[in-house]
């Protein structure tokens, strides 16, 4: 098996003639059924929008240092959180999720890793987790809500360091199921104040009606 580190903590593996994305971990327990090969955890772009973004445009993904701090909004049961935790192995992932059911699985993952802080809270009310957080290098947001841009602004105003990076995985159908995805995208982009944005990326063929909007705090 040939491995290549394409960005800090992110690898491509050549397996049976195919290139696959992976991160590295000492945790030998699969989080979502992923294959683990010699401590490399395969990262599935159909399960994780961040992996899809990396495959579509590596330059859109900020190079995260090993000790980076990440605020992750919409952690669910930890599929993508686990890979982010692998990448920032000496840093911290503040993982916000409002579903108690998903949080139960997430807490199990946190018990095996010491760099994830699980936070049961509504990402639309960032003031509620202020006592738990310090300013972060990256905010990653993946919440299927009507007001995704507002949630992004509230959290970045409060917790993103100046010059810090932001990735919003926009699910257009959650904002307006009847409007065209492009119209929803443009309307949400207009609401993202205080962020210097890169061109949005469609996540097809991995995720339908999803766009990655990345940027930096001005």
Q: Which residues of this chain interact with ligand SAM, rule CB under 6 A?
A: 48-49, 74, 76, 79-80, 96-99, 102, 122-124, 142-145
Please measure the distance between the N-terminal and C-terminal CA atoms of the chain and give it in whole angstroms. Answer: 42
* Minimal distance, residue 51 CB to ligand SAM, in Å: 9
Smallest separation (angstroms) from ligand SAM to the CB of 17: 28
Q: Least distance in Å: CB of 81 to ligand SAM?
A: 6
Whose tokens are 């394409």? That residue is 6
Q: Which is nearer to ligand SAM, 3 or 57 (CB)?
A: 57
Distance of CA 103 to the CA centre of its chain: 16
Half-sphere exposure of 63 (CA within 13 A, CB side): 5
> How many whole angstroms separate alpha carbon 156 and alpha carbon 162?
9
Which one, 98 or 159, has the nearer CB to ligand SAM? 98
Query: How far apart are CB 16 and ligand SAM at their closest, in Å?
Result: 26
Closer Cβ to ligand SAM, 1 or 35, answer by number:
35
In the bound state with ligand SAM, the residue whose beta carbon lies nearer, of 9 and 74, is: 74
| E strands in the chain | 2-7, 10-15, 18-24, 36-37, 40-42, 69-73, 92-97, 116-120, 136-141, 160-171, 195-197, 201-202, 210-217
Q: Residue 93 corresponds to which tokens in the numbers above? A: 């992932």
Q: How far is the CB of 20 from ligand SAM (least distance, A)?
A: 18
Q: Which of 90, 66, 60 is nearest to 9 (CA)?
A: 66
- Number of C-alpha atoms within 13 angstroms, CB side, residue 212? 28
Of the pair 143, 185, the CB lying nearest ligand SAM is at: 143
């Amino acid at each position: 098996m040939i491995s290549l580190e394409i960005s800090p903590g992110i690898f491509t593996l050549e397996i049976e003639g195919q290139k696959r994305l992976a991160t590295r971990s000492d945790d030998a327990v699969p989080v979502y059924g992923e294959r683990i090969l010699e401590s490399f955890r395969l990262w599935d772009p159909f399960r994780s929008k961040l992996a899809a973004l990396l495959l579509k445009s590596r330059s859109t993904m900020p190079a995260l240092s090993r000790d980076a701090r990440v605020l992750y909004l919409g952690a669910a049961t930890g599929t993508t959180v686990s890979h982010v935790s692998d990448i920032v192995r000496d840093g911290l992932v503040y993982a916000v999720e409002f579903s108690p059911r998903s949080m139960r699985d997430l807490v199990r993952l946190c018990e095996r890793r010491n760099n994830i802080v699980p936070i049961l809270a509504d990402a639309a009310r960032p003031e509620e987790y202020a006592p738990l957080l310090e300013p972060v290098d990256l905010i990653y947001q993946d919440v299927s809500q009507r007001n995704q841009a507002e949630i992004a602004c509230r959290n970045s105003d409060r917790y993103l360091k100046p010059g810090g990076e932001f990735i919003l995985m926009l699910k257009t159908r959650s904002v307006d199921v009847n409007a065209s995805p492009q119209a929803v995208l443009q309307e949400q982009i207009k609401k993202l104040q205080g962020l210097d944005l890169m061109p949005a990326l469609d996540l097809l063929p991995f995720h339908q009606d999803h766009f990655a909007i990345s940027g930096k705090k001005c």
